[in-house]
Amino acid sequence: MTSHRETQFSEGGRSKSVMNGAGTSQGQWGRAWKVDWFSLVGVIFLLLFAPFIVYYFIMSCDQYNCSLTKPAIDLLMGKAHLLDIWNKTPQLTRKAATLYTSWVIFQAFLFMLPDFCHKFLPYYRGGVQEGAVTPAGIVLKYEINGLQAWLITHALWFANIYFFHWFSPTIIFDNWIPLLWCANILGYLVSVFALIKAYFFPSNAKDCKSTGNFFYDFMMGVEFNPRLGKWFDFKLFFNGRPGIVAWTLINLSYAAKQQELYGRVTNSMILVNVLQAIYVLDFFWNEAWYLKTIDICHDHFGWYLGWGDCVWLPYLYTLQGLYLVYHPVQLATGNAVGILLLGLVGYYIFRMANHQKDLFRRTDGNCKIWGKKPKYIECFYMSADGTKHHSKLLTSGFWGVARHFNYTGDLMGSLAYCLCCGFQDILPYFYIIYMTILLVHRCIRDEHRCAGKYGKDWKRYTDTVPYRLFPGVF
C-alpha cells in the first residue's frame, strides 16, 4: 500500500519538496476531485482483496511452509477447503489484544514527548519542525522525535532480553497471526474514524476533499491532515509509528525464533536485520525531511494510509525474516558479501541522490556536485493565479544518470533483502516485485504531473536525461 520510501514530489527527475500550496488550483493538489470508473474499480479491488492478500501470505507460511502455490492448488483440486484453512488459523487472543494495545499506547506516548536527541546529536534535525504549506495556506508544526522513540523502544527491548526478562524475545513471532487481527481492527477503526472526523469535525475544513463517492473517499481519505489537539497528527503517527518502529523489532523477534529453533542465527537473517535496520534508521534520521514527501504533502489520510500502515507494512515488508524462520539459509561467504555490497551501494545511491537534490535546492545551485558546478535547465511554469514562477531542473550527479535514480538505489536495496532468502520460493521476492510496480507507477505519475506543469521545458529536460530508472533500458 504505502511505500514509506522518502520520495518527495519529483520535479525534473529530482525529488522536489512541495514548498507551498498558495495559488494551487483545486485540480492540482491532493488526490482526485472526481472518480472515473477505472479508479473506482481499482479502489474496490484493493478494499476487497488487500486484506486477503496479507492473510494469504501469512497463512501460507503458517500452514504451507511458505509456499504460495500449494494452498491455491489444494483449494482448486479439492484437497482443502477454505473453512479447513480458516479453522487451522490462530484466532484473536486476549494476550495478543493486550500486547498490541499496550504497544500502540506506548508509541502514542512516545510520539507526544518533546525530542531531546537533536540537542546532543550533531546534524540531526529533531524537535519542532515546520511542514509544507497546506492547500488551505496553513503551515503545520510537528514534533519530530521518531529517532528518540526508536532508541527508547529498542533500549527497552534489549534491557528486557539481558536484564528484566519480562517477556520472551520471540513474543512477536509467537503471536504473529493473533496480532494480525489486532492490526486489522486498528486499521479499520482509525480509517472509519478519519472519515467521520473529516465530515463532522475536521481539523481544517478547507483542507478536506470529497468526491461524493463513499468507497473512494473511505480509501483515499477526505481530510488532508487530521489531528487531535495541537500535536497528535494522524498521518505522521501512522506513517512513522507504530509500524516502522516495530519493523526492526519484528526482525529481531524472527532472529530470536531462529536461534530458539535451530540453535543459531544464520548469516542471511543477520543480513536482513542489518540492511533493513539501516533503512529504518535512515527514515528516522531524516524524519524532518519526510515532512516534504508525497505521503505528507499529497496524500489524504484514509484507509490507504491508516490500514496500510497498520497491516500492509509490518506484515508484508518483513516477509524475508519470516521466511528465514521457516527456511534458514546459510549463505556462502562470497554470496553474503555480494548481497551486503548490493544493499549498501543501493542505500548509498538512494541517500546521496536525495542529498544532491536537497543540496541543489537549498543553495539554489550554488554548490558542487561530484566536484563540479551543477548543470541544470532553466524552466518556468504558471500557477493557478496566473503568476509566472522560475525553477531549475538538475541534470548533474545521479540526476544526470536517470530522472529517478534515487528509486534505482531503492530497488537495489529491496533486491538485496530478497536475495538473502535464496531461490527456493517466490514468497520472499514479493517485496521487490511490489516495489518495482510501485516505483515505476510513481515515476509515470510524477512525470505526468511535471509534463503538465513545465510543458516544453519538460521536453528539454527529458531529452537531456532520457532514462527514468535504468540507463539504456528504462
Q: What is the mean pLDDT of residues 85-101?
A: 96
Look at 176-180, 254-258, 297-301, 423-427 and tell me which has the smallest mean pLDDT: 297-301
* pLDDT at residue 297 is higher than 70: yes
Which tens digits make up the pLDDT trace of 181-212? 999 999 999 999 999 999 999 988 888 888 88
User: Model confidence at 16, in pLDDT bands (50, 70, 90)?
Assistant: very low
Q: What is the mean pLDDT of residues 444-467?
A: 86
With residues binned 3-state (H G I as helix, E B as strand, rest as coil), the percentages for the chain, rounded to 5, are: 60, 10, 30
pTM: 0.89
Among candidate residues 154, 141, 152, 142, the one with its CA nearest the CA of residue 110: 152
Helices 94-111 & 146-159, crossing angle to 10 degrees? 140
367 by Cβ neighbours in 10 Å (0-12 / 13-18 / 19+) ranks as middle
* pLDDT at residue 290 is higher than 70: yes
Most confident of 180-194, 290-304, 388-402: 180-194
* pLDDT at residue 19 is higher than 70: no
Look at 87-96, 276-285, 292-301, 384-393 and tell me which has the smallest mean pLDDT: 384-393
Most confident of 285-299, 351-365, 442-456: 351-365
Most confident of 23-27, 39-43, 192-196, 354-358: 192-196
User: Model confidence at 17, in pLDDT bands (50, 70, 90)?
Assistant: very low
377 beta partners: 393
User: Model confidence at 231, in pLDDT bands (50, 70, 90)?
Assistant: confident
Q: State which amino acid sits at residue 442.
A: R
Residues whose CB is less than 8 angstroms from the CB of residue 48 and which lie 6 or more positions away in sequence, other chains included: none
Which tens digits make up the pLDDT trace of 406-417? 999 999 999 999
pLDDT at residue 384, rounded to an integer: 58
pLDDT at residue 127, rounded to an integer: 94
Which sign, positive or negative, has the C-alpha torsion 111, 116, 120, 124? positive
Q: What is the mean pLDDT of residues 220-242?
A: 91
pLDDT at residue 81, rounded to an integer: 92
pLDDT at residue 15, rounded to an integer: 34
* pLDDT at residue 11 is higher than 60: no
DSSP-based three-state secondary structure for 302: coil
Compute CA distances 368 → 351, 364, 393, whole Å.
17, 11, 15
Residues whose CB is less than 8 angstroms from the CB of residue 418 and which lie 6 or more positions away in sequence, other chains included: 320, 428, 429, 431, 432
Radius of gyration (C-alpha) of the chain in whole angstroms? 23
* Letter string b/e over residues 417-429, b meaning 16 or more CB atoms within 10 A of that residue's CB: bbbbbbeebebbb
Q: What is the mean pLDDT of residues 262-274?
A: 97
* Cα separation, 70 vs 117, whole angstroms: 49
Which tens digits make up the pLDDT trace of 350-392? 999 988 988 898 888 889 999 899 999 988 877 656 677 788 8
pLDDT at residue 131, rounded to an integer: 85
pLDDT at residue 446, rounded to an integer: 82
Vertex 272 angle, CA 267 and 276, to 5°: 150
* pLDDT at residue 440 is higher than 80: yes
Residues whose CB is less than 8 angstroms from the CB of residue 18 and which lie 6 or more positions away in sequence, other chains included: 8, 9, 132, 292, 297, 298
DSSP-based three-state secondary structure for 2: coil
pLDDT at residue 172, rounded to an integer: 98
User: Model confidence at 139, in pLDDT bands (50, 70, 90)?
Assistant: confident
In this structure, the number of other CB atoms found within 10 A of the CB of residue 208 comes to: 22
User: Model confidence at 33, in pLDDT bands (50, 70, 90)?
Assistant: low
pLDDT at residue 76, rounded to an integer: 93
Share of the chain above pLDDT 70, in %: 92
Q: What is the mean pLDDT of residues 301-325?
A: 96
Helix (H) or strand (E) holding 131: strand 127-133
11 beta partners: 14
Side-chain-facing half-sphere of 208: CA atoms under 13 Å? 21
Q: What is the mean pLDDT of residues 149-170?
A: 96
Q: What is the mean pLDDT of residues 84-99?
A: 96
* Cα separation, 166 vs 164, whole angstroms: 6
137 neighbors 205 (Cβ within 8 angstroms): no
For 51-102, the DSSP string reads HHHHHHHHHHHHHHTT-SHHHHHHHHTTSS-HHHHHHTS----HHHHHHHHH
* Cα separation, 397 vs 407, whole angstroms: 15
Mean pLDDT of the chain: 89
* Cα separation, 58 vs 176, whole angstroms: 9
Rounded to the nearest 5°, which phi and psi values hold at 86?
A: -65, -40
Cis peptide upstream of residue 242 (ω within 30 degrees of 0): yes
pLDDT at residue 441, rounded to an integer: 87
Residues whose CB is less than 8 angstroms from the CB of residue 239 and which lie 6 or more positions away in sequence, other chains included: 2, 4, 290, 295, 296, 305, 309
Q: What is the mean pLDDT of residues 239-244?
A: 90
Q: Where do we find the cell 536485520?
A: 273
Q: What is the mean pLDDT of residues 170-183?
A: 97
* pLDDT at residue 8 is higher than 50: no
Cα(first)–Cα(last) distance of the chain, in Å?
24
